[in-house]
Amino acid sequence: MKKLSHFDAAGSARMVDVSAKTPTKREARAQAFVRIRPEALEQLPHNPKGNPLEIARIAGIAAAKKSSELIPLCHPLMLSHADVDVTVENKGVRIIASATTTAQTGVEMEALTAAAVAALTVYDMTKALDKSIEITDIYLLEKTGGKSGAYRRK
C-alpha cells in the first residue's frame, strides 16, 4: 500500500505540503441519495418551508466553498466552479455535486461536502413530512487531474 503523507515522524496528523506540486485543472463529481417515502415526495411542491430542492442546491454550492473550514486537514481552494443537481426519483432525491479548480490538490472533498450538505438540507426541509428519511450512498463518482490521474466509479 502507498505510504500517505498525512502523518509526521511522530505519528501526528498534519496538513500535506502541496507547495512543490504543479497546479493542474481538477474536477470531481460526487453523489448522495435521500430516501423519502413516496407520500412525502408527492408533497415536496407544497412544502411549507419552501422549495427544498432549490435550497439544497444553493446549500451544497455554499458548502463546497467552505470544505476546508469543515474538514480539518483539507486545503482551502479557490473554486472556479461548483454546482449541484437535485433530482426527484421514485424512492427519493438524488444529488450530484461537482467542483472544478486549477490547483495543486484535488477537489474531491469539495464535491463530497457539497453532496452531503445538500442531502442534509433536503432532510432538514422535509423532516416534517417524513420522519423516516435516510441519507445514503454518499460517494465520489469521478475525478480528473493531478498526479494520480482520472478515476471513475464502476
Please tell me the total count of domains within the chain.
1
**Distance from C-alpha of 139 to C-alpha of 132, rounded to nearest angstrom:** 22
pLDDT band at residue 2 using 50, 70 and 90 as cut-offs: low
Question: Does a structural domain hold residue 12?
Answer: no
Please check whether residue 92 is in contact with residue 41, taking contact to mean a CB–CB distance below 8 angstroms: yes
The predicted pLDDT at position 46 comes to 87
Please choose, from the candidates 69, 59, 64, 68, the residue with its C-alpha nearest in 3D space to the C-alpha of residue 93.
59
Does pLDDT of 1 surpass 90?
no
Q: In what order do the strands lie in the sheet with 81-89?
A: 81-89, 92-103, 24-35, 134-144, 151-152
Question: Does a structural domain hold residue 22?
Answer: no
Q: Has 124 been annotated as catalytic?
A: yes
pLDDT tens, 104-118? Answer: 999 999 999 999 999
Q: 145 lies in which domain range?
A: 29-152
Cell numbers for 50, please give them: 419552501
Question: Does a structural domain hold residue 21?
Answer: no
Please check whether residue 114 is in contact with residue 86, taking contact to mean a CB–CB distance below 8 angstroms: no
Please choose, from the candidates 48, 136, 35, the residue with its C-alpha nearest in 3D space to the C-alpha of residue 90.
35
As a three-state string, the secondary structure of 26-54 is: EEEEEEEEEECCHHHHHHHHHCCCCCHHH
Residue of 83, 85, 124, 137 marked catalytic: 124
Does pLDDT of 4 surpass 70?
no
- What sign does the CA torsion over 114, 119, 124, 126 have? positive
Question: Does a structural domain hold residue 5?
Answer: no
Residue 59, domain CATH: 3.30.70.640
Question: Does a structural domain hold residue 17?
Answer: no
Question: Does a structural domain hold residue 6?
Answer: no
Give this prediction's pTM.
0.92
Question: Does a structural domain hold residue 41?
Answer: yes
Question: Does a structural domain hold residue 24?
Answer: no
